[in-house]
Structure 1
């Protein structure tokens, strides 16, 4: 789902304020946080939950197949749970598009949409109460820089508490980005694969770390709209940067690219099942041969897993087989990045 980045709204308001300060101020661009609840008005009360579970979607919309699996995993197949949607306002259509879908799924007591438009909304007491009382938090599509700005607010701790009690987290597009260990935050603008491979230190490549660290999902960098917008190259650059700059531990980083209409359901044991479209897992397990500002990237032998719908990838016990190899030499891929014959099989 496409949503207008909040930073663009803020910048426009600030520019107008310079021209007509008596009419518009930058502060006025931030609307008050808004809440719309569907379903039962009272939250579920229950002693324990059976998650955590996650959904990672390539585009903004909820994918019913994986959302249903997450809901069932968290509630242990019995009872109902509460979902909170956090994000910026949709640009057209329903004011609650994600919750409209969620309320059609079995096992849901309520779905509450919170439209949050500024960093200070991350400390909104009512929003944080709803999140802490929920069992699943879904981050909408939009602008992941807005979501990264909630690092250090109460909202960050509230979402962590949901996962800690056996609930779950997920999101689509920007919401997919924010759920990885290293977040490509796009706070300095978006970058294409060509730009990233020609300069892995392009000013538009910025990261946020320390937002969330989900069990079994360490060292990951999510990317969205993956095949549709040809983002394999930039994910390779992100992986190289993460290793080179020490953003991950153990000298390795994993890119997780999900295409439009695709989704990963990840269970409490770290096993991910793809649905809807292919997912790609891109491992860089050594430092790049060349990664410097204003120089083409060179990285030999990325290990790539293509996870087709219905197939799985284990993020807890990460596989050492089933991958194909691809290299980038002076910013140029050696072969087709999206398809290859595995150099090993998994029996």
Structure 2
């Protein structure tokens, strides 16, 4: 049994018991009723035209909109002319400052007709008619930072289909932090809590390593698992564990799983309609698990030989349509211990 799960589970049980006791005693107020809140900036009328030139995507290392990559996505979708509408989806309101931080940035970019922020606090909000009308009428959907488990709960709702319709008409999707996670084809949903690299390597089947599949699968971006705040929070080990497990459990196709980790501090991976990604702002990594793990068993540490890792620096490109077979360095995990130098290595020649 994984000792991390026991200690965290016991702590969570104790905390829950304390909260329930305080609530029953009248010392803690019950949660307010969930509701969907809408704030629209810009034009009250939606842009309208027959066709759009995307799709285009942005995957950011932290929650904020990165103006450079977002501006490029907007230009690509509108084909360099006219204007479009953006919808921001958030699972909770900002704790301080502006109520619409993502839209505040978006409205400063060229080619934007409007930006609407929806704060949705319940899974059932995914079937809200006004929410889905706004998404259908938009050309880009941005998932804000926060809690990707809230976003995964919209699987099977009208919202899931609405976001897909935006991409299908030549629009785009993206997000930051939690919003980056939800845009990969295998989503680390964190529905039981966040897991560290050391915990994930100690047991790839730790109870906190939970995944959602079948949410979105964007063109040229299949078989991916996104991660965010990557170097700053030392998440290479957990992404290794995630990709090894995805291969072992058949969560991805062809015996391969591709991890994509983007660092915070302005890191943003822009993906165009042809599947070529361009990195902005801060480093990113692509991690390939391309064979069955030597050991990935519940309750035991991971052993996996030779993950292939591409280190991308700002301005670098990566072709997800024709994924490279060179330019990587190798790192392994043995009995739950990763090699040194995970974030830098001598790449193979191309």
TM-score bracket for this pair, using the shorter chain length: over 0.9
Check the 8 A contact 2:19/2:28 in 1, yes or no: no
Q: In the alignment, does 2:70 pair up with 1:67?
A: yes
SS of the residue 1:29 aligns to: coil
- Segments of 5+ residues of structure 1 without an aligned counterpart are 1-10
Q: 1:213 to 1:14 in 2, by over 3 A?
A: farther
1:36 equivalent in structure 2: 39
Q: Which runs of 4+ in 1 moved over 6 A?
A: 11-14
2:143 equivalent in structure 1: 139
2:104 equivalent in structure 1: 100
Query: Residue by residue, what CA displacement relative to the aligned partner does 1:2-60 show, whole Å, maximum 9, x if unpaired?
Result: xxxxxxxxx899837951589955xx534310000000000001000000000000000
Query: Residue by residue, what CA displacement relative to the aligned partner does 1:87-143 show, whole Å, maximum 9, x if unpaired?
Result: 121111000000000000001000000010000111110011000000000000000
2:11 equivalent in structure 1: none
Of 172, 176, 179, which aligns to 2:183?
A: 179
Q: 1:30 to 1:300 in 2, by over 3 A?
A: farther
Q: Distance in 2 between matches of 1:278 and 1:305?
A: 11
Q: In the alignment, does 2:248 pair up with 1:244?
A: yes
Check the 8 A contact 1:30/1:117 in 2, yes or no: no
Check the 8 A contact 1:16/1:24 in 2, yes or no: no
Q: 1:257 to 1:23 in 2, by over 3 A?
A: closer
* TM-score calculated relative to the size of structure 2: 0.92
Of 81, 84, 100, which aligns to 1:81?
A: 84
Of 295, 304, 314, which aligns to 1:290?
A: 295
Q: Give matches, 1:126-275, under 5 Å.
A: 126-260=130-264, 261-275=266-280
* TM-score calculated relative to the size of structure 1: 0.93
Query: Residue by residue, what CA displacement relative to the aligned partner does 1:127-161 show, whole Å, maximum 9, x if unpaired?
Result: 11000000000000000000000000100000000
Q: Distance in 1 between matches of 2:37 and 2:19?
A: 23
Check the 8 A contact 1:176/1:224 in 2, yes or no: yes
1:253 deviates by 0.1
1:48 equivalent in structure 2: 51
SS of the residue 2:165 aligns to: helix
User: What is the count of residue pairs matched by the alignment?
Assistant: 333
Q: Distance in 1 between matches of 2:287 and 2:280?
A: 18
Q: In the alignment, does 2:322 pair up with 1:317?
A: yes
Q: Distance in 1 between matches of 2:132 and 2:18?
A: 28
C-alpha RMSD of matched pairs (Å): 1.7
Q: 1:13 to 1:97 in 2, by over 3 A?
A: farther
